[in-house]
Structure 1
Amino acid sequence: MVDVLMPQLGEDIDEGTVQQWLVQVGSLVTRDQPLLEVETSKATSEIPSPCNGRVVEIVAPVGATIPNEGLLARIDDSAV
């Protein structure tokens, strides 16, 4: 199981807000495929998948503000 974490999106950025999920629970994803869009005070960014696998849980709903290194989703990397 691989945790998808909020990355550091800038030197002085401590959090981001989930704007849109581009995948659903059960979706097969590939490494570097965009999973969601996150907005910070400076920009909107796509967060890529860290691995190949199946999305098994979306933890952060649309509108949630998540700190850096906070949990966004989980991917089962054995499901490829």
Structure 2
Amino acid sequence: MIDFNNKGFFKLKQNDEYAARVSDLLIDGEHVIDAYKSMRDGVVFTNKRIIAVNVQGLTGSKKDFTSLPYKNIVAYSVETS
């Protein structure tokens, strides 16, 4: 599940490691646009959806993948300084 309250999640750095982690989840005609990593978690943007990767546990062997198709996004917010 995407944790929007986790401030560390939004300190992302570009990292192709997460593109490889979600490769088995991609559907026909879907390709990775870019991938980013925070401390342990990551987010992958494809041409069809956003895939959030939540690494769990001490060893990081358990992972939660959350898919958010672009067609299901109905609202967004932008705040400027």
Shorter-chain TM band:
under 0.3
The structure in which a higher percent of residues are helix is: 2
In terms of Rg, which structure is larger? 2
Tell which has more relative contact order, 1 or 2 (C-alpha 8 A, sep 6+): 1
Could you state the TM-score of these two structures normalised by the residue count of structure 2?
0.26
The structure in which a higher percent of residues are strand is: 1
